Structure 1
Amino acid sequence: MMMWYIIVAIVIFASLLVAKNMRKNKKNLPPGPPRLPIIGNLHQLGSKPQRSMLKLTEKYGPLMSLKIGNVSTVVASSPETVKDVLKTFDADCCSRPYLTYAARISYNLNDLAFSPYSKYWREVRKMTVVELYTAKRVQSFRHVREEEVASLVEFTKESASLGNTVNLSNALMKLSGSVICRVGFGINLKGSKLEETYEEVIRETMEVLGSFAAADYLSVVGRLIDRVTGLHSKCEKVYKAMDAFFEHSIKLHMEDESLKDDIIALLLKMERGEAGLGEYQLTRNHTKGILLNVLIAGIDTSGHTVTWAMTHMIKSPRVLKKAQAEVREVIKDKDKITEEDIEQLEYLKMVVKETVRINPLVPLLIPREASKDIKIAGYDIPKKTWIHVNIWGVHRNPNVWNDPEAFIPERFMDKEIDYKGLNFELLPFGSGRRMCPGMGMGMALAHLTLINLLYRFDWKLPDGMEIEDVDLEESYGLVCPKKVPLQLVPVLTQWS
């Protein structure tokens, strides 16, 4: 009988201990919508996850829990919660989860954008910033930007003289690609392996990199789903196109000794051991992974920003007229426009700020992964949780911006708000350790291009097209370009 009492006591004690531990381990997670078995909330994301997430946060709050397949995720979508992720707990939230197709395209995460936070990442970041993105280096590439913009102007003049419609989306992407190829690769886009397929390859790369791939959330079954949907084959297609371009660029450098002052030449020296990257000996895959970031970091920043700015201005004749009047008053009869002219154009700078607010190029920042247990806004965020920062949601939040769906550059008048990572209500390039390093390069080109387009040409819609016909729908990917290309007719003026 005594043994029976002992057994009962042990069972009761063990039960109490288990209950205590369960209470202790029960986390105070952010609220979120109910989940389905296996897929969790994956079905609620839709084709434009940034919009779906904003809609859900209206009910569940600015820090929301989602279960995407078997992955626990939180979504931050207010300036306060985003500041916690990107600044207060930046060191604990700046690593990356493993993303299947990003790993493939970045040569097994040997890049800057998708690599986990590590000593290697810090060395690559430091090297690329010094070689390409410091203010001094950005300024040193000024002649390249001016030459390529002048080439765009000449192309537009020819089109205007013939009365032709210009596909501005395509022309602006080629402009930014030409600048990046010359600055980063020491070669011209024209005549390269990507010349004919450039826009398509970049767009599809961004679609792959921004996808909510089933392989990342549903394991083995997910990989089968991605093969059925075509995501796997699309990844292989863009990987092969990018790889051929990198091989072409590297081969040119190895054959031409005059190509010695760009980042490829430096990376090849590191491969040979003639230069160092801290303690790391680079392989060819390291080189290509780094080149991937060089290629895409500044392209969409400038090309798509100018496309969206011109789209919103053509839909708002008042803004277009005001921006052109300012540019023409400041520039007057100058034949050569320089980057110094940007500083005097206060309204144009407001137009650009409003453009990157209403159409942030990266609406959902690349997901982060908590490296330890943290607490944000009073909620527990367990280690290994994936963290999505919904920049699109912050920029369209009516509690942050009055009439957020309207394009109103004047909202920035007399406001010390900029897009450089310090104001958490406007973060088109992110903030903290993972902030986009190509911002300065891309925005310098964007401003210079806009000045020239507004100063030298008047713009009208093709015959038969009305303002109402210009749509504002975006494609989805890591970057969100305009879905339907912007087609406009340039008109020669006395300043052309």
Structure 2
Amino acid sequence: MTILALLLYTSITAIVLYLLIFFLKPPRSLKRLPPGPTPWPLVGNLPHLGATPHHSLAALAVKHGPLMHLRLGLVDVVVAASASVAAQFLKSHDSNFASRPPNSGAKHIAYNYHDLVFAPYGPRWRMLRKICAVHLFSAKALDDFRHVRQEEVGILVRDLVGSSSTTVKLGQLLNVCTTNALARVMLGRRVFGGATKAADEFKDMVVELMVLAGEFNIGDFIPALDWLDLQGVTKKMKKLHARFDVFLDTILQQHKSSSAGVSSQPDLLSTLIALKDDADGQGGKLSDIEIKALLQDLFVAGTDTSSSTVEWAMAELIRHPQLLKQAQEEVDTVVGRDRLVTESDLSQLTFLQAIVKETFRLHPSTPLSLPRISSESCEVDGYYIPKGSTLLVNVWAIARDPKMWTDPLKFQPTRFLPGGEKPNVDVRGNDFEVIPFGAGRRICVGMSLGLRMVQLLIATLVQTFDWELANGLDAEKLNMDEAYGLTLQRAEPLMVRPNPRLATHVYESL
């Protein structure tokens, strides 16, 4: 039997078995499932997802309601597309949806579930989260390393001044800044010297990871077809993982053989290596694989999400010059034009904070929440949610819900100011109208750092430069299309020309 014939025979057998199971099994419950589109044979609703699932699911929610049931292959999937439904899942039923469903990304990229993002809910997950919360994201740790963020933002400004006569790819420089700021805390050193080939390759790896992790891989939903890798996703994941592993292994080995971290302010990796030899009291010891998996999580989730959010914000401000001017006037009033804005100034910049919130609303870094899985059956909005159901929260759709927002597609920061429609809404997971970091037990552990970094970067870029688009492009014609992935990237990078607007000595002192 030829290989082709064997593949065909195996595929037909898998399909026949699936159809027998699907059509002959007894009804699982007489209780009502949430409404949703009629599934296709075998593949279920996978064809309904389209190229941009957050758009497709938002359109389906208009027809079927804010709580939908989909059948993706053999998997029950529920989708929350309104703030009230999301709150029921992530608040009222949070403990039931605290774990992640099996998926190829966690297996082939995240060191087979050894990381923090995809680790099953339990002692090991709590240990990894506690390590990050205490050593990297606590208020004390954030304050201790404030100077690092300030210095890296200063380097970014210096690089932009040096490029003021040319066009720059803003997202690339932002990514270098956020990566180096995080690396200095994690590793005790910078990893990139600027917009170099190595920095480009790293950003490409991160973006590719986000794209692959956002894929709806058929093998995840029809396990009998997993080995065929029909979309080639698994092959790409394994290849990317090998590249990331070399990058992370080099960092780990260099750190072990150097004196990095031997200071009054040890870095995170030194702490992790120290924990490697000590029982943590909850889930055993840290292995090299767990250390690399955690570093990968932090590098990926802590860099590109922030830089892409800032890139979206600057694109919106360039498209709305009156808002940029208003933000510049606020910074000039609070800070002046003889020094750079600092983190301590941010609390006084209320309009800038509103800009940040509006950017998170209109361009959430994670448009579809990372999936969760129900440990037990439950009831939401009077509908039956089966045990083992995958939960997706359409963060993008919730933040554009016309029932919750006036002119939801309009970039309008004043909606978050006193007198606006949502003056008290925050983005920290308590107000479900805007949950860019998620909510509940699985809320992003690095939320506080992300907020500080995004606010500081936007404030600095607003204060230090006036902005022109490349090649004299009209701001109204700026492409604002999205490229789908686990994170919301711009389809086209923002190409700009920065024009310094502060006193010369401010830039010379950097």
Shift in Å, 1:150: 0.5
- For residues 168 and 60 of structure 1, the distance between their equivalents in structure 2, rounded to whole angstroms, comes to 40
Shift in Å, 1:78: 0.7
**Structure 1 match to 2:219:** 215
Contact 2:187 2:260 in 1 (8 A): no
One-letter amino acid of the counterpart of residue 482, structure 1: R
Work out which of the residue numbers 236, 239, 264 in structure 1 matches 2:241. Answer: 239
Contact 1:187 1:249 in 2 (8 A): no
- For residues 181 and 193 of structure 1, the distance between their equivalents in structure 2, rounded to whole angstroms, comes to 18
Give the 4+ runs in structure 1 shifted more than 4 A: 191-194
1:173 partnered with 2:178 = no
Greater shift, 419-428 or 249-258, is seen at 249-258
Describe the superposition over 1:400-447 as per-residue Cα deviations: whole angstroms up to 9, x where unpaired: 111111101111112111101110111010111000011111221111
**Structure 1 match to 2:494:** 486
**Structure 2 match to 1:392:** 396
Work out which of the residue numbers 145, 149, 154 in structure 2 matches 1:145. Answer: 149
Describe the superposition over 1:329-383 as per-residue Cα deviations: whole angstroms up to 9, x where unpaired: 2111332421111111110100000000000000111111000011001111011
Work out which of the residue numbers 274, 277, 287 in structure 2 matches 1:269. Answer: 274
Match of 2:471, SS? Answer: coil
Work out which of the residue numbers 443, 446, 469 in structure 2 matches 1:461. Answer: 469
**Structure 2 match to 1:11:** none
Shift in Å, 1:102: 2.1
Contact 2:76 2:386 in 1 (8 A): no
One-letter amino acid of the counterpart of residue 493, structure 2: P
One-letter amino acid of the counterpart of residue 351, structure 1: I
- For residues 375 and 402 of structure 1, the distance between their equivalents in structure 2, rounded to whole angstroms, comes to 31
Work out which of the residue numbers 425, 428, 431 in structure 2 matches 1:423. Answer: 431
Shift in Å, 1:86: 0.6
Match of 2:56, SS? Answer: helix
How many pairs align? 471
- For residues 463 and 364 of structure 1, the distance between their equivalents in structure 2, rounded to whole angstroms, comes to 34
Shift in Å, 1:467: 1.5
- 1:209–1:73 Cα change, 3 Å: same
1:115 partnered with 2:119 = yes
Shift in Å, 1:196: 4.4
- For residues 110 and 198 of structure 2, the distance between their equivalents in structure 1, rounded to whole angstroms, comes to 18
- For residues 91 and 142 of structure 2, the distance between their equivalents in structure 1, rounded to whole angstroms, comes to 26
TM-score (norm 2): 0.89
**Correspondence list, 1:243-262, <5 A:** 243-260=245-262, 261-262=266-267
Work out which of the residue numbers 377, 381, 394 in structure 2 matches 1:377. Answer: 381
One-letter amino acid of the counterpart of residue 330, structure 1: V
Match of 1:488, SS? Answer: strand
**Structure 2 match to 1:8:** none
Contact 2:213 2:485 in 1 (8 A): yes
Shift in Å, 1:27: 2.4
Contact 1:169 1:307 in 2 (8 A): yes
**Structure 1 match to 2:203:** 199
- For residues 270 and 493 of structure 2, the distance between their equivalents in structure 1, rounded to whole angstroms, comes to 36
Work out which of the residue numbers 443, 461, 465 in structure 1 matches 2:451. Answer: 443
Match of 1:25, SS? Answer: coil
- 1:23–1:43 Cα change, 3 Å: closer
Match of 1:204, SS? Answer: helix
**Structure 2 match to 1:471:** 479
Greater shift, 103-112 or 50-59, is seen at 103-112
**Structure 2 match to 1:15:** none
Shift in Å, 1:194: 5.0
Shift in Å, 1:466: 1.1
**Correspondence list, 1:182-193, <5 A:** 182-190=184-192
Contact 2:464 2:500 in 1 (8 A): yes
Describe the superposition over 1:158-178 as per-residue Cα deviations: whole angstroms up to 9, x where unpaired: 111xx1111101111111111
Shift in Å, 1:258: 3.6
- For residues 83 and 225 of structure 1, the distance between their equivalents in structure 2, rounded to whole angstroms, comes to 36
- For residues 392 and 417 of structure 1, the distance between their equivalents in structure 2, rounded to whole angstroms, comes to 16
Larger Rg computed on CA atoms = 1
- For residues 295 and 494 of structure 1, the distance between their equivalents in structure 2, rounded to whole angstroms, comes to 33
What percentage of residue pairs aligned between the two structures are identical?
36
Match of 2:406, SS? Answer: coil
Shift in Å, 1:277: 5.4
Match of 1:463, SS? Answer: helix
- For residues 64 and 309 of structure 2, the distance between their equivalents in structure 1, rounded to whole angstroms, comes to 32
- For residues 91 and 454 of structure 2, the distance between their equivalents in structure 1, rounded to whole angstroms, comes to 27
**Structure 2 match to 1:4:** none
Match of 2:324, SS? Answer: helix
**Structure 2 match to 1:286:** 290
**Structure 2 match to 1:12:** none
Shift in Å, 1:245: 1.5
Contact 2:127 2:280 in 1 (8 A): no
Work out which of the residue numbers 67, 74, 79 in structure 1 matches 2:78. Answer: 74
One-letter amino acid of the counterpart of residue 463, structure 2: Y
Contact 1:112 1:121 in 2 (8 A): yes
Q: Gapped runs of 5+ residues in structure 2?
A: 1-25
- For residues 180 and 348 of structure 2, the distance between their equivalents in structure 1, rounded to whole angstroms, comes to 27
- For residues 213 and 27 of structure 2, the distance between their equivalents in structure 1, rounded to whole angstroms, comes to 39
Match of 1:133, SS? Answer: coil
**Correspondence list, 1:319-398, <5 A:** 319-398=323-402
Q: Gapped runs of 5+ residues in structure 1?
A: 1-21
Greater shift, 235-244 or 363-372, is seen at 235-244
One-letter amino acid of the counterpart of residue 495, structure 2: Q
User: How large is the RMSD of aligned CA atoms in angstroms?
Assistant: 1.8
Shift in Å, 1:24: 8.7
- For residues 24 and 322 of structure 1, the distance between their equivalents in structure 2, rounded to whole angstroms, comes to 58
